[in-house]
Structure 1
């Protein structure tokens, strides 16, 4: 486990190609097995190469307003369910 922000940046940005495989997370199901965190070796590299341009600083700035709007809707929905005292499926 790493706690130093500079080392984390080194690992996750500069030396990312040396850290392709993650430890398995048992019991997460097929959805997580096929996610970027679950993929290994060549599959991981192929998917990461395809999605990396999506997360440039410019594109993240463009998405910020939409992400904030969705987060506000989620919080409002959770608050409404909490007020009613209703149970709900978090996965949905």
Structure 2
């Protein structure tokens, strides 16, 4: 899979609920290993909330990116002053 195919991929949590889409990724410049991905959360049309996921939290990459974690519902998301989002991931 090429990076341009990976960016924009739909992300599902372990319960197959749509979480969002891949918007960015961070990788180790020495090893080339992806370390984390950034998701734009699926909330509403005007949402710009993002969530950073460790590569270790990814179960499968294919037609969808499937996480091995459950992402809490919107009520459990806490917003910071700079409009970034902090989410606790439940195992």
Higher helix share: 1
Report the TM range for the smaller structure's normalisation: under 0.3
Give the TM-score normalised by the residue count of structure 1. 0.21
Q: Which has the higher contact order (CA 8 A, sep 6+)?
A: 2
Higher strand share: 2
